Amino acid sequence: MSAKKKKLIYNAVTFGVVILAFLLCNLFYGQMSRSLRAQLIPICCWIVMAVSLNLVVGISGELSLGHAGFMSIGAFTGIIISGWLLKGFQMENETLRLVLSIVAGGAVAGLLGFLIGIPVLRLRGDYLAIVTLAFGEIIRNVLNCVYTSVDGTRLVFGFINPTLPGTLLLNGPNGAVSVSKIATFTAGFLLVLAALVVVLNLINSRTGRAIMATRDNRIAAESVGINVTRYKMIAFVTAAALAGMAGALYGLNYSTLVPGKFKFDQSINVLVFVVLGGIGNTLGAVISATVLTILPEMLRDFADYRMLVYAVLLIVMMLVTNTPATKAFFNNLKGLLSRKGPRKTVEVSQRKGGDRA
Amino acid sequence: MIFLSNLVNGLSLGSIYAIIALGYTMVYGIAKMLNFAHGDVIMVGAYIAFCALQYWGLPPVAALLAAMLLCTVLGITIEGLAYRPLRQATSLAVLITAIGMSYLLQNLALLIWGANPKSFPSVMIQLPTLSLFGDQLKISGVTMMTILANIAIMIVLTTFISRTKMGKAMRCVSEDRGAAELMGINVNRTISTTFAIGSALAAVAGILLCSAYPTLMPTTGSMPGIKAFTAAVFGGIGSIPGAMIGGILLGVIEILGKAYISTELGDAIVFAVLIIVLLFRPTGLLGKPIREKV
């Protein structure tokens, strides 16, 4: 099978799975439990988060620990824009408001991603990771001090100053209150599709190949004339903008939202989705984001032990998928399924095992 | 005088960060992994000391030893069960396992000790408050103890690393694991020892932290853990003097920033300084520059 055909099949499967899942959800909406229904929009948001972080971690090869920061910027921009349009301009059309909010959330987060990317992408490895973590924490800390209100058709901002004229939209550490919940599952689905179109097209384009080249060997990529910083920046900004859009949808799904919701743990959670889905694997990111968002809900039967079981599952999954024995098993399985037969892969896996011993 | 008192408080907080950062930096230097569960070992250590004082009725010194001993066992167990099987795996896989371990410790603590914050007993450190300049500058016993403990740990650890056989083995493994193995160094045992030392230090840090800020919760360790990790990177991760300098600077910057710039933006100031330092010294204050081989 040619590489091109393989990619085509992979993309078709990815889109197929997402569309099928959406249709099934709509078909069985009546049978779903309340808690599962409430999870549908967050699941879409986390899928977009995972797919976008996968672009940074998997495709461009930089560990980012501050992805939730971009999500929170998108969320609060979305809430401000939506509240401004509703209270300042009496825009009643919810769909239009949602679309404008999401676009604004993505744009602001993308711009911030660009500004942060300038210093961040100069660093390497763990130092880059810690700086993204630092930026995520700074964003949360600064958002804790921002107050916004609508006065007539005017937006008023205050910093560490809660006395503003008009209706308050953002209230510092207490976050956004009485947000009109305009997010819909269909919008979430369309956002997931859009994110997939953007990311998969980017990966399979000339730009995407350049990004992967910088990941695989920075010096070699530079020596064939690839501008490393530029291509890493493209991946970083695209991911930030997508995260901002996911954030706007997420923010408009709840009536209240505090900046403390987007702590460092949330960035880590998204990273867990990406790693468990297989780093660099977009479909894997989609599936693991879905499963791992539903899993804590499904574990409600365990009540107090819920997060404990989740933690144990996480460790066991990493141990099982990363030991040589299971890797060899999966290689054999892949060999059996492919037309060339298992022999070649068995040899490869044995040789790998030999290297380790 | 207020400045001096802030400075002393900063030194004290920085000493706690430095002790925690030592655990991060040693493990990173030798096992090349970010041990995210380290912050939660601090919390476990503080809870053990709390139980020893409150329920078992042990004297403070015995409580300290109990906390150090149990945390050492915990550290070695975590390393053996979760990290050792992943020695050959990618660094991201190890990172996620460490994150899972951090969740596990937090939730175990939640089950055992409950979500309600516990008030850490003040009997742990009984030093009188020191008054200087005719009562203008007061230094509490906890603050003094923290700074003294930090100095003592720094001296003992530096001697251990530079003088003992095990310390030499640690330096070897951190330099080149494969070569160390060929020279007959037991790499697994060296890594276990590193975890043991790091975890014992975490127990000390937990007790000092909770003596200064007496609210004890299952999430107590996570924010100081992240700050100490930042401190380790600030000083150049893998370098022991770097962790010391990074930790102390970070504590001083945090307290002075909160006092003179803005209370709400204290954390943001700390992280902003980190970013600025890394822009000018991309491998931290004392980190070795990365050489690229083609």
Give the chain B residue nearest A266 (alpha carbons): B99
pLDDT for res A11: 87
Question: How far is Cα A331 from Cα A353, in angstroms, rounded to an integer?
Answer: 12
- Residue among B92, B103, B284 minimizing CB distance to A307: B103
Question: How far is Cα A75 from Cα A109, in angstroms, rounded to an integer?
Answer: 9
Q: What percent of chain B has pLDDT over 70?
A: 94
The closest alpha carbon to A296, from A279, A283, A311, A284, belongs to: A311
Question: How far is Cα A129 from Cα A136, in angstroms, rounded to an integer?
Answer: 11
pLDDT (mean) for B177-187: 90
Beta-carbon separation of B282 and A311 below 8 A: no
DSSP H stretches of helix in A90-205: 94-120, 125-143, 185-203
A301 CA: distance to closest CA in chain B (Å)? 16
* pLDDT exceeds cutoff 50 at A355: no
* pLDDT exceeds cutoff 60 at A19: yes
pLDDT for res A197: 93
Question: How far is Cα B95 from Cα B88, in angstroms, rounded to an integer?
Answer: 13
* pLDDT exceeds cutoff 50 at B280: yes
Residue with tokens 């945390």: B71
Task: Give me the DSSP letters along A231-265.
Answer: HHHHHHHHHHHHHHHHHHHHHTTSS-B-GGGS-HH
- Residue among A131, A145, A322 minimizing CB distance to B93: A322
The closest alpha carbon to A282, from A70, A12, A5, A3, belongs to: A12
pLDDT for res B292: 62
Let me know: does B233 contact A130? Beta carbons within 8 Å: yes
Band of pLDDT at residue B125, cut at 50, 70 and 90: low
The closest alpha carbon to A310, from B83, B34, B101, belongs to: B101
Examine the predicted complex and report whether its ipTM is higher than 0.90.
no
* pLDDT exceeds cutoff 80 at B199: yes
B219 CA: distance to closest CA in chain A (Å)? 12
- Residue among A138, A315, A356 minimizing CB distance to B271: A138
* pLDDT exceeds cutoff 70 at B250: yes
Q: Which tens digits make up the pLDDT trace of A245-275?
A: 999 999 999 888 888 888 888 888 898 888 8
CA distance to A74, A155, B72, per residue, from A13 (Å)? 30, 45, 49
Tell me which of A179 and A187 has the higher pLDDT.
A187
pLDDT (mean) for B56-83: 91
pLDDT for res A344: 44
CA distance to A176, A244, B6, B146, per residue, from B138 (Å)? 42, 48, 11, 15
CA distance to A14, A52, A103, B40, per residue, from A192 (Å)? 11, 10, 14, 35
The number of angstroms, rounded, from the C-alpha of B293 to the middle of its chain's C-alpha atoms is 33
The closest alpha carbon to A177, from A79, A100, A45, belongs to: A79
Lowest-confidence pick of A313-322, A336-345, B103-112, B205-214: A336-345
Give the chain B residue nearest A121 (alpha carbons): B279
* pLDDT exceeds cutoff 60 at A353: no
pLDDT for res B276: 87
Number of other residues whose CB lies within 10 A of the CB of residue B146: 29
Q: Structural domains in chain A?
A: 3-322 (1.10.3470)
User: Which stretches of chain B are assigned E, i.e. beta strand?
Assistant: 118-119, 130-132, 137-139, 215-216
Residues found in chain A? 357
Structure tokens, A275: 């790693």
The closest alpha carbon to B50, from B123, B114, B100, B143, belongs to: B123
pLDDT for res A210: 94
pLDDT for res A349: 38
Give this prediction's pTM.
0.83
Question: How far is Cα A126 from Cα B24, in angstroms, rounded to an integer?
Answer: 13
CA distance to A1, A238, A319, B250, per residue, from A8 (Å)? 11, 22, 32, 51
* pLDDT exceeds cutoff 50 at B289: yes
- Residue among B111, B266, B278 minimizing CB distance to A127: B278
Q: Which tens digits make up the pLDDT trace of B133-163?
A: 766 677 777 888 888 889 999 999 999 988 9
Q: Which tens digits make up the pLDDT trace of A116-156?
A: 998 888 887 777 888 898 899 899 888 888 888 888 777 88
Task: Give me the DSSP letters along A256-313.
Answer: -B-GGGS-HHHHHHHHHHHHHT-TT-HHHHHHHHHHHHHHHHHGGGGGGGHHHHHHHH
Residues of A with CB under 8 A from a CB of B: 57, 63, 119, 122-124, 126-127, 130-131, 133-135, 137-138, 141-142, 144-145, 160, 219, 264, 268, 271-272, 275-276, 279, 304-305, 307-308, 310-312, 314-315, 318-319, 321-324, 356
Tell me which of B40 and A335 has the higher pLDDT.
B40
Beta-carbon separation of A322 and B85 below 8 A: yes
Number of other residues whose CB lies within 10 A of the CB of residue B168: 14
Beta-carbon separation of A310 and B283 below 8 A: no
Beta-carbon separation of A308 and B108 below 8 A: yes
Question: How far is Cα B255 from Cα A282, in angstroms, rounded to an integer?
Answer: 44
Residue type, B285: L
pLDDT (mean) for A222-236: 92
Question: How far is Cα A70 from Cα A72, in angstroms, rounded to an integer?
Answer: 5
Let me know: does A71 contact A259? Beta carbons within 8 Å: no
Band of pLDDT at residue B176, cut at 50, 70 and 90: confident
Helix/strand/coil percent split, chain B, to 5: 75, 5, 25
Mean pLDDT of chain A: 84
pLDDT for res B124: 61
A14 CA: distance to closest CA in chain B (Å)? 24
* pLDDT exceeds cutoff 80 at A356: no
What are the structural domain ranges in chain B?
14-130+138-222
CA atoms within 13 A on the CB side of A206: 1
Structure tokens, A335: 């060999």
* pLDDT exceeds cutoff 90 at A36: no
* pLDDT exceeds cutoff 60 at A354: no
Go through B54-74 and write b for each residue having 16 or more CB atoms within 10 A of its CB, e for each that does not. eeeebebeebbbbbbebbbeb
Backbone angles phi, psi at B128, to 5 degrees: -70, 155
pLDDT (mean) for B93-119: 87
Q: Considering only CB atoms, which chain B residues are within 8 Å of A133? A: 226, 230
Number of other residues whose CB lies within 10 A of the CB of residue A341: 10
pLDDT for res A124: 77
* pLDDT exceeds cutoff 70 at A346: no
CA distance to A58, A208, A215, A303, B240, per residue, from A226 (Å)? 19, 12, 12, 53, 38
Tell me which of A22 and A331 has the higher pLDDT.
A22
pLDDT (mean) for A162-172: 79
Mean pLDDT of chain B: 86
Lowest-confidence pick of A338-347, B21-30, B228-237: A338-347
The closest alpha carbon to A266, from A35, A74, A31, belongs to: A74
Contacts of residue B3, defined as CB under 8 A and 6 or more positions apart, other chains included, come to: none
Contacts of residue A190, defined as CB under 8 A and 6 or more positions apart, other chains included, come to: none
Local structure of A71: helix, strand or coil:
helix
The closest alpha carbon to A82, from A173, A169, A189, belongs to: A169
Question: How far is Cα A35 from Cα B48, in angstroms, rounded to an integer?
Answer: 38
